Structure formats: structure tokens, C-alpha cells
A and B are shown apart, each in its own frame.
Chain A
Amino acid sequence: MRDRMLIFCGLALFVAVFTYPVLRAATAGLVAGPPDMQLPATAKQCVADTPYMRANHMQLLVNWREDVVRRDIRQIHAPNGKVYSASLANTCTGECHAKEQFCDRCHTYSGVSGPYCWDCHRDPRLVARKAP
């Protein structure tokens, strides 16, 4: 038991070094909070509830795409009883969400770099801004 001092010092050093990045980030305010999602000012209801949209919006959009392009079904009868036009550009970004303040912020936060939907289905706001 003569090495007790040495062992405890070593343990303390290990814990300090191991937790240093976390501690430093926490104390210096570097921990990123949840993204500042700008919700639409007017619309209060999405085509489906928030947990579903958060987890499955990509599948929902793919289903819309197949319906519109391949089956000529352009109307969505949402669970909330409303009827929407199945369009990313004209319904999602056109009526509610700004691409930069909503889609991009969450994708950046969660490290999702994949979706290139907007290359072709452009946010009407951005198109209007770009126009001369």
C-alpha cells in the first residue's frame, strides 16, 4: 500500500486529461445547443406531427415524389384533414419553411450533408432574391 499516493495521483491525472475536452467546451460555452430553428410565422400545423416529420420527412418526400411523377397523384390528404399539394418547393418551402433558416440549420447541426433536393426544387424566396 506504499504506492497508494502514486496510484491516486495517476488516476486523478487520467481523469483530468480524459475529461479535458468536455470540461473545456462546457466552461468556455463551446457546446452547441439545439439549432435555432425558425418556425413559420403563419402556419401552425405541418402535414404530419412533429415527431413523425423529424424522423420520416425524407421518406414522406420520396413518397410524394413517386406519387406525383409516376402515379399522377398531386394532392396529399394529411392526417389533420387538410389537403395539400405534394410539392417540396411550393408547399414545404413555398408556404412555410425557409430553406436556409429551417432545413439547412438542422441538417448542418446533425451533420447531414446528403440532400440536394434544392438544386432543382428551389425555395421560391431564393429564386426571387436571385432574379434581377
Chain B
Amino acid sequence: MSITRKGFLQVAGASLLALAGEKLVGSISSPEPGKPSRPTRWGMAVDFQKCRWDKGCDRCLDACRQAHNVPIIPDAKHEVKWVWKEREPNVFPQQSLLLPAAIQSQPVPVLCNHCAQPACTRVCPTEATWKREDGVVMMDWHRCIGCRYCMAACPYGARSFNWSDPHPYLAQSSADFPTRAKGVVEKCNLCEERLAQGERPACVEACAEKALVFGNLEDPESEVRRVLASRYSLQRRPELGTGPSIYYLI
């Protein structure tokens, strides 16, 4: 049996159409293989009713320092902060009327907000800090040139600059996590190295009162979403539109 020129072109054209159709259907229907179908945005709720900051509890701060080799520098101008205690009116300016008296008078624990629209990542000239798909505002200290634009951009003061070599100020030293060098900016990384191992952040694990609730903000079934649905919460400086992932339960 011989094939005509017309018949050949018909078969070839139909094959091409079928291939294109398959591609189109494939791209619409299934997400990329290996990627989780549910999006992740890590977030945290800090419960001021459970937190014993007023009793001088420093467990979350200590756990963070130990996990990440955060130096304790006595000079407040050179201080390096990942989780730290902040005093009103720097925590919730413009929302102070909503606050219980205890929060207005005592310094409360705060950390990097891992904003949905981070100001810091926009100004970094070397892409040393960026927003990950799972919501963590990540840093590459190798790439940081120490220009401190991100520090100027962050409205929460969550970033610290290493004015001097931090090594002499390391109280407990761990080889599991790298230290930093003079001239780079650092901040809370939401324990991304622990998230990669499927663990929760060190501060959350360390809190005996379970005042820190961690989870996926995109998952309505997660612990953090449940507690946010049931309690009244504040974000720091919501008027700026940065979309903090850290909530404070009043």
C-alpha cells in the first residue's frame, strides 16, 4: 500500500496537534513534579498571655543564641539581635490603645517578621537577602557587602550589623552553625536549617510555656491558623503593608 502526499500531510498534522494538545493539558492540570501541592508560608504567633517575659524568662533568646552563635555584645550600639526584647512604643506604635497595661510597661520578645512584602530584600544591591517560596526571608552572608541598606529599610529594626569581629563575644559556641564575620548584616532566619530537617524553630522548642506557636499560615488546619482564628492578634505596624508573618496574641 502506498501513501499519498495528501495522506502523509494529514497524518503528520494530526500528530503535531495531538502532541501540542497533550502539552497544553499537562501544563494546566498537574503542578511540577516534586513540588508540594499546598503552598507553604511559615509563620508564628507569640502568645503574650502565656509568655513569661514579665518574670524575666529568657529561654527563647538563649536557645536562639546557642543555635546560631549569636554574640552577646554589651555595647548597645553594636548589639546583634535575632530574637530580642523591645519596649513600647516601638513594638505596636499606633495600636497602643489596644494593649493590656502589662505589655505597655514591659519589654516583650520580638523577632524578624519574615514579611510577605519585605522592604529589606528590595533594597539589597547584591541579592544577599531574598524571600524564599516558603516565606522565610533568607540571607546569604557570603554575598553581603555590609552596605546596611536592608537595615535602613526594615521598619522593625530586626537586622543587626557586625561592627567588629563577633567571635570574642560568643558565650556558648557551636560548630553546627556558622558564625558571622565583621562587616555583614544578620537577623533571625526562622531556623531555616531546622525547618530543612523537619524540626520547629529553636525558640519554639525552648519555650516551656508553649507561648510560641509555629506553623504554615497557608494551611487552615495548622496549629498557628487555629490559634489565630480563635484569638485576637496584632501584627507589628500593619499600616506599612509589609504583611508580617509573626502575629502577637494579646
Contacts and interface: CB of A to CB of B under 8 A. Distances in A.
Interface of A: 65, 69-70, 72, 74, 89-90, 94, 116, 119-124, 127-128, 130-131
Contact of B173 (A70, A72, A121, A131): A131
B173 A89 contact: no
Contacts of B196: 72, 74
A57 B138 CA distance: 26
Contacts of A90: 175-176
B178 to A, nearest CB: 4
B132 interface: yes
26 contacts: A69-B138, A69-B140, A69-B142, A72-B196, A74-B196, A89-B175, A89-B176, A89-B178, A90-B175, A90-B176, A94-B175, A116-B181, A119-B179, A120-B178, A120-B179, A120-B180, A120-B181, A122-B173, A122-B175, A122-B178, A124-B175, A127-B173, A127-B174, A127-B175, A128-B175, A131-B173
Contacts of B140: 69-70
A94 B177 CA distance: 12
Interface of B: 132, 138, 140-142, 172-176, 178-181, 192, 196
A122 B192 CA distance: 20
A65 B142 contact: yes
Tell which of B132, B173, B174, B192 has the most Cβ of chain A within 10 Å.
Answer: B173
Contacts of B173: 122, 127, 130-131
B132 A72 contact: yes
Contacts of A128: 175
Given A74-B196, A121-B178, A128-B175, 13 more contacts: A69-B140, A70-B140, A72-B192, A72-B196, A90-B176, A116-B181, A119-B179, A120-B181, A122-B173, A122-B175, A124-B175, A127-B174, A131-B172
Contacts of A127: 173-175
A120 B141 contact: yes
B222 to A, nearest CB: 20
Contacts of B138: 69
Tell which of A72, A116, A128 has the most Cβ of chain B within 10 Å.
Answer: A72
Contacts of B142: 65, 69
Nearest to B139: A69
B213 to A, nearest CB: 24
Contacts of A123: 175
A121 B180 CA distance: 9
Nearest to A120: B178
Contacts of A72: 132, 192, 196
